[in-house]
Amino acid sequence: MNITVGGGKRSVEAGTTVAQLIEGEKVENAAYVTVAVNDAFVDHADFGSTALFEGDTVEFLYFMGGGR
């Protein structure tokens, strides 16, 4: 099936979960990544049970602190 990850098209197997996608995409600092699927945030506890579907859009987000 085809999905969009970070603005690029990807082909993944049907039934792929967010956790499997994170592993397959070799996401750095996976413990600290926030994932949005179709603009909805996915709780870290649900990464393993959240399946992706044809046409989904996935974004990996990292929130950084800093400033003055």
pLDDT, position 20: 98
Task: Give residue 67's pLDDT.
Answer: 66
pTM (two decimals): 0.89
* pLDDT score for 28: 86
Domain assignments of the chain as residue spans, ordered by start:
2-61
pLDDT for position 62 = 85
What contacts 43, CB < 8 A, 6 or more positions away?
Answer: none
What pLDDT does residue 1 have? 97
15-64: pLDDT as tens digits: 999 999 999 999 988 889 999 999 999 999 999 999 999 999 999 998 77
Cα separations in angstroms, 64 against 10, 32, 34, 49: 27, 10, 11, 27
The yes/no answer on whether domain 2-61 falls in CATH 3.10.20.30 is: yes
